[in-house]
Amino acid sequence: MKKIVHESAKYHVTGEAVYIDDMLVNEQCLHGVLYTSPIAHGKIKSYDLSAAKALSGIHAILTYKDIPGHNQMGPIFHDEVVLAEDKVEFIGQAIFLIAAENEEIAEEAKRLIKIEFEELEPVLTIEKSMELGNLIQPPRKIETGNIEEAFKSAKNIIEDILYVGGQEHWYLETQTALCFPGEGQEIKVYSSTQNPSEIQAIVSEVLGISKMQVEVDMRRMGGGFGGKESEANHIAAWTAILAVNTKRPVKMRFFRDEDQKITGKRHRFLLKYKAAFDNDGIISAIDVEQSTDAGWATDLTMSILERAMMHAENSYYIPNMRIIGNAWRTNLPSNTAYRGFGGPQGMAGMETIIDRIARKLKIDAAEIRFRNFMGMEERNTTPYGQKVENNRLFMLWEQIRKTSDYQNRRKKVDEFNAKNEFVKRGLALTPIKFGISFTTSFLNQAGALVHVYNDGTVLVSHGGTEMGQGLNTKIKQVAALEFGIDYDKVRVNSTNTARVPNTSPTAASSGTDMNGMAVKNAVDILKSRISEFIAKKFNIENADSKSKIENIVFENDTVFDIQNTNRRISFKDAVSASYLGRVSLSSTGFYKTPGVHFDRAKGTGNPFFYFAFGMSVSEIELDVLTGRTKFLRADILHDVGESINPDIDKGQVEGAFIQGVGWVTTEEMKYDGKGNLLNHSPDTYKIPSIQDIPEIFNVNLLQNAPNPNTIRRSKAVGEPPFMLAFSTWLAIKDAISAVTNHEIEPEFRIPATNENILLAIEKIKRF
Ligand code: MTE
Ligand code: QUE
Ligand code: MOS
C-alpha cells in the first residue's frame, strides 16, 4: 500500500489550513463578546446597560429578552438557557451579548455594565450535592446475576472509594463561530463543531426559524476531543443571535483563559465499590455506585454516565454485578463529552479493584487480570447481556508479554526496589475493551453525497467532521479504493448541512466506520450506473460476446470487463462517455449500523456493533523524596483491525495514550471556595509535553486481525487507546506501594499528581 499522509498535513505545517478565525472577512464583520456571571450561584437583582450601549463602536448589547426564538440550547434535555434570565448558576454563565467594531471596544463596554446580584450558597462538590439530594436526572442501573448471594459466600471482600478527576480538552483552536445573515431568514453559520446538524438545530431554535433556513459549514477543527460535540452549540447560538440582530456578519472566539473557565470538561466521578473474590483472585461479584458531577445542566451527562456504566467491567467477566449511576447537579460549568465518553471513568474503578486484589493476595496484578479476562467461548457476557465476540485479549496478551519482556522486567523491578530506598520503580500491564457504536441507537446512521465530474475527478461530502483525527484522509482513501482510481483524483469537501442532512455527531470513534460505509454506498450506486452504461457500450463496439454489468470492474484507473480484459476504457473516458450518454453522476449514500439496540429501562441489550481491544505495559521511576516520576518505557499493542492508514492509526494510538497519561498524572482542576477555576491557562494547568513522553516508546498495531463487516475490515481507533494510560497510572501506584514493600495499600486517585503521590507516600510511611 502507498504511504498516504494526512490530507491537511502540508496545510497545517505551512499555515495554509483555513480555520474559522483565518477566514477572510471584511470591515462589516463585528466581534461578539460575552458578559458573564462573576458568581457561581445567585439572583440577578438589577442591571443598567445604558452607559455601555452609548459607547461609540457598540452595535448591540442583548439580554435574553432579545432572543427571537427559544432561550434554550440544551442538546437533549432542555435545561440550558442561552442567556441567564433571573438567576445565575455558574461562574462564566452568559448574561449579555455584545457586538462591537472590535474586541477592545467590547471589553470597554463590559466595564461600563452595571449589575447587582443576590448571592446564594454554591454547590461545588459531588459530596455536597449528594448531601442535598440534587440529582440532575433519575438514577440508572445495570444488574446481572445475584450479588447478595455472591457476597454472602465470598472468601474475600474489599470495599472503598475512588476519586476520578476531570480534564480540560485543550484543543489548540478555542471555541469559534462566524455567522452571515442572508436574505429573509437565511443564515450561514461557520462553526468549529463536531456536530453541524446540532448547530443547525440549536441556531434554528434560538432564532425561531426552520432548519431549511440555516446552513452550517465546517471545514476542520483545530481539535475537538469531545469538547466541540455540544459545547460548540453555545458560541454558535450567541453569534447567530448577534448576527441577526445587527444584520451584520459576526464572529466570536474565546481567548484561552476564557475558554478554559467557561466550557465544560471531562466529568469527575466518585466511585464507591465492593468486590468479592476467591483466593486465586477470581472475582465473583462487584457492586459499584458511580456518582458524577454533571455541572449546572444535563448536556450529554446521562449518555456519558451510561457509557461509564457499560465499561465498569472493562475486559473482565464478572458473573454477578450491580452498577448504579447517579448524576449530581453542581454550580460549575456543565461537564461534557471527552475522549472515551465516560468509559475511562468507569474502567478506572475496575482496574483499581484488580490492582487491590493482586496486592491483597500478593500475586502479580497482570496474572490476576489474565485469570479474570472475558473468555472466548464462555464467561464472555457483559453485565448488560451482550456477548463479546472476536475477543482479541488473548492474542494481545501473548504478544505483548513477549515483546515487552514483562516477566523479566517484573523481576528486575523487584530487584531494583529491594536495593534502592529513595528511588522506586513500578510496572503495570493493563488491557482495554471499548464498545464501538453510540449507545443511543438512532445515532448510528450516516450519510454521504458523491459527485463524479466529467473530467474523471470525484468530490466527496459526508456527515463526519475533521478534527485532526484523519477522517477525511481515510474517506478519500475509501472513495479512491472503491472507484479503483488514484488517491489524488478525489477531494473531500467541507462538512455542510446543505449537502448531507440530519447527521450524527462525529463521536464515539465511529466517524470512519459509518461515513466510510455511507461513501461506499454512494460509490457502489455510481459504479452500477456507470457499469450498466459501459457494458452496453462494450457490446455495441464488440459483437462477439456479451459484457454483463456484474463483470465490469473498476481498477487501476480503468474500467474493464473481467471476462474479456481487452474491453477496457480509462476511468476518465468511462465517466465522460457516461456523461454524454446522460447518466447521472451524482449519488447520495447512506449507512446504518446493523443490529444495535439497548433497553434503558431494563439495562440490557446489544448496544455495540463490536469491541476494540488494546494492551499496554508501562514502567516508571519514582523519586520517593519529591514524588517526581520519570516515564521509563511504554509498550503498546492495539487492535485496529485491518488499518486503512497505519500511520494515522499509530498517531491516534500515541496521541490518545499520551492524552490519557495527562489525565491520570498531571492534569488537575483546582477551584477556590467560590467556584473560581484557579488554573485556567497552560502555566498552571499541566498538559503533557515532550518531557512526558516515555524514554522508550514502542507502539504497534495488532497484525492479522481483520474486523468483519466494517469498512475495509478496519476498526475504530479514536478513543480506545486513551484508556491504555491505566498502565502508567498503576505503574506509579506500584512504585508507591514498593515503599513499604507492598505491605500497605497506598491511598490513590486520578490524577496521580506529584502532590498526590507525595501525600500518599507520607501516609504509608507513617503507618
Ligand atoms: N484526534 C485528533 N487529532 N483530534 C481530536 O479532536 N478527537 C477524538 C479522536 N481523535 C480527536 C482525535 C475523539 S473524542 C473522537 S470521538 C474521535 O477522534 C472522533 O473521530 P473518528 O470517529 O473519526 O475517529
Ligand atoms: C457515545 C457517544 C455519544 C453518545 C453515546 C455514546 C455521543 C452523543 C450521544 C447522544 C445521545 C443522545 C442524544 C444525542 C447525543 O450519545 O457523543 O443528541 O439525543 O452525542 O455511547 O460519543
Ligand atoms: Mo469523542 S468524546 O466521542 O467526541
The predicted pLDDT at position 1 comes to 60
pLDDT beneath 50, residues of the chain: none
- Alpha-carbon span 483 to 347, nearest angstrom: 41
Does ligand 1 lie within 6 Å of residue 339's CB atom?
A: yes
Residue 345 grid cell:
471513568
- Nearest CA residue ID for atom 13, ligand 2: 76
Q: Rounded to an integer, what distance in angstroms lies between the CA atom of residue 383 and that of residue 158?
A: 20
Atom of ligand 3 at shortest range from CA of 341: 2
Ligand 3 center from residue 339 Cα (angstroms): 5
Distance 202 CA to ligand 2 centre (A): 16
User: What angle separates helix 301-309 from helix 343-361, to the nearest 10 degrees?
Assistant: 30
- Ligand 1 site, residue 222, Cβ cutoff 6 A: no
Domain architecture of the chain: domains with CATH: 9-121+169-262 (3.90.1170.50), 269-439+600-765 (3.30.365.10), 445-592 (3.30.365.10)
Helix (H, G, I), strand (E, B) or coil at 434: strand
Using CA atoms, how far apart are residues 95 and 72, in angstroms rounded to an integer? 13
With a 6 Å cutoff on the Cβ, whether 587 touches ligand 1 is no
Q: Which ligand is nearest to the CA of 721?
A: 1
Instruction: Order the strands of the 495-496 sheet from edge to edge.
Output: 58-62, 94-100, 30-36, 250-253, 176-181, 187-191, 214-218, 495-496
Half-sphere exposure of 103 (CA within 13 A, CB side): 5
Q: 28 CB contacts (<8 Å, ≥6 apart)?
A: 248, 249
**388: helix, strand or coil:** coil
Closest CA to 329 of 91, 128, 165: 128
179 CA → ligand 3 middle, Å: 25
Nearest CA to ligand 2 atom 6: 438
Output the CA 497–ligand 2 centroid distance in Å: 19
Whether 377 is a known active-site residue: answer no
Q: State the closest ligand 1 atom to the C-alpha of 656, by its place in the atom list counted from 1.
A: 10
Other Cβ atoms within 10 Å of 209 Cβ, number = 19
User: What pLDDT does residue 767 have?
Assistant: 72
Which residue of the set 173, 198, 231, 719 is catalytic? 719
Integer Cα distance of 188 and 708 in angstroms: 40
Omega before 751 within 30 of 0, i.e. cis: yes
| CA–centroid distance, residue 428 to ligand 1 (Å) | 26
How far is the CA of 14 from the CAs of 10, 18, 355, in angstroms? 6, 11, 47
